[in-house]
Structure 1
């Protein structure tokens, strides 16, 4: 049972012990556990997407994955992981401010790796998720789509004229393979935020949630956009904590995520990031139900959104997490 004073375990793998072991091996430049983990994951696309994302983040410079590709060049999991690694490196280089030519070369190498991975395992959504991630780079995003010239509508949405142009075909390719893929929709949100503007990302998030079925983690997407919106306004000095989070729009999206997602799925099937975003949103806007979310989180806190919000307020995020959890459990005792 969760308690208000339990320690925090901040680890990308959360409670996924198999993933934790594979990460430890990758950090020692060994790839066998990662291979076995992905093989065991099989066609559980949601789990494959999550695990491959975490593995790529833990692969450092990608040396172990490169060695795996050399050893097993026909292994589609190795190709997919190499696409993950190169995509992550290109995005990091962009954030670090590398020159345009270097970024173009890195983006092209990542794109080519994604195309190869998509050909090696055509029904895998992950290479298309990676292509959506690359769309955030200041490159022509149309060059990422291997089928661009043959598409009729290309980068306009056929049914929603009010939505901005963007890499919709890449999102459609993800959804063809894994309808409602969580990371794919977040990457699309990040594209709009990076290349079009925060308002477009907020509009996209609302649109996604309005179409999401019961039990879908896509009902959480607006809460991520709200965190980005809060940070942007806080940097400009135009918003306070209570004034932003006590609005009707925050309560609306927090209630929908609680009632139509969290309360309809098994806690162990929930993304820890989603749970932490929901716990914050519910407590920040004063809606009930955060106690059960904190119970589902257990000791496995994620620094998002706590760090992003706390940094805007010049506070320590772990202290804030413990404080809010303690207050919540006083109001909503665990195990009730």
Structure 2
């Protein structure tokens, strides 16, 4: 069945059935499926990072991970997930307006959980990815939460940030996808340096690395802010520039064409599909085929003036792309 004929599936697990079962378990305050799922990631840092990130989002609103940690306080996965969940709760609260002493207290609690997880399993990159996420709440250098969030950059064109923490991640899992997205999130939160950082990363990310797509995320965030403040022209005017077309092609030929399909991030596929269609570069049919029926709200809901249109926009873009080649190639 061609992708255009299928119903859309909107679920945080995407096609990962094991992750889907673990999320369902977490919703009823049970953690055993998550525990089994994380055990299966040993030896694959990328999978451990991506699965634990999704699990933390699903567990932030319940007590499943708190119960696991209470029952097995020395288990490295329980400690890592506790750091994940406290970090996610902090980010959620910060987006909800948490500030001042309450914010600092939450940052310190999450930071202590990250340190405990890092001490328990020093080789694990995930606690350091969580340390990077904490810096997303540290937005004013005049009143820093931690000096490690404001290190000098490796290049003059780049802004200060948690560069030494990024080094700690790279020592354990070079070019970890989430770590670089967290860095981008820090610069977006501070309102400067995001695109420069994303473009710089593509200069050393190898073929097949999802970091080739990082500028597309920066472009989407810029467009989202322009929409929010009513400062943008039409979508065509914004996306029809040589630099955006260049990085869309780089995503297609530098990442998608070389990466193992089993390693594809569903979110990356959606960002690439959107960019290829929005810039007019085209050649998006195979990307939409790789997406299949599995939806993510981003970037589609971020780049439309009416959030209610996002599924229609996706269907329209997919239909146009597939019509060029008649579906599968």
The two structures have a TM-score, normalised by structure 2, of 0.95
Does the Cα contact within 8 Å between 2:60 and 2:88 map onto a contact in 1? Answer: no
Q: Could you list the per-position Cα deviations for residues 261-295 of structure 1 after superposition, in whole angstroms to 9, with x for gaps in the alignment?
A: 00011223110000000000001111132100000
Q: CA deviation at 1:239?
A: 2.3
Q: CA deviation at 1:333?
A: 2.2
Structure-2 residue corresponding to 1:162: 157
Runs of 4+ in structure 1 over 4 Å off: none
Gaps in structure 2 of 5+ consecutive residues: none
Structure-2 residue corresponding to 1:12: 12
Does the Cα contact within 8 Å between 2:60 and 2:86 map onto a contact in 1? Answer: no
Matches within 5 A, 1:222-233: 222-233=215-226
Matches within 5 A, 1:96-115: 96-115=96-115
Matches within 5 A, 1:281-300: 281-300=275-294
Secondary structure of residue in 2 paired with 1:163? coil
Q: How well do the aligned residues superpose, as a CA RMSD in angstroms?
A: 1.5
Q: Could you list the per-position Cα deviations for residues 130-167 of structure 1 after superposition, in whole angstroms to 9, with x for gaps in the alignment?
A: 1111101136253567xxxxxxxx81134x12211111
Secondary structure of residue in 2 paired with 1:303? coil
1:173 and 1:59 map into 2 onto residues whose CA distance is 26
Matches within 5 A, 1:18-29: 18-29=18-29
Count of matched residue pairs: 324
Gaps in structure 1 of 5+ consecutive residues: 146-153
Secondary structure of residue in 2 paired with 1:316? helix
Does the Cα contact within 8 Å between 1:276 and 1:304 map onto a contact in 2? Answer: yes
Secondary structure of residue in 2 paired with 1:161? coil
The two structures have a TM-score, normalised by structure 1, of 0.93
Structure-2 residue corresponding to 1:239: 233
Q: CA deviation at 1:236?
A: 3.2
2:303 and 2:157 map into 1 onto residues whose CA distance is 30
Structure-2 residue corresponding to 1:149: none
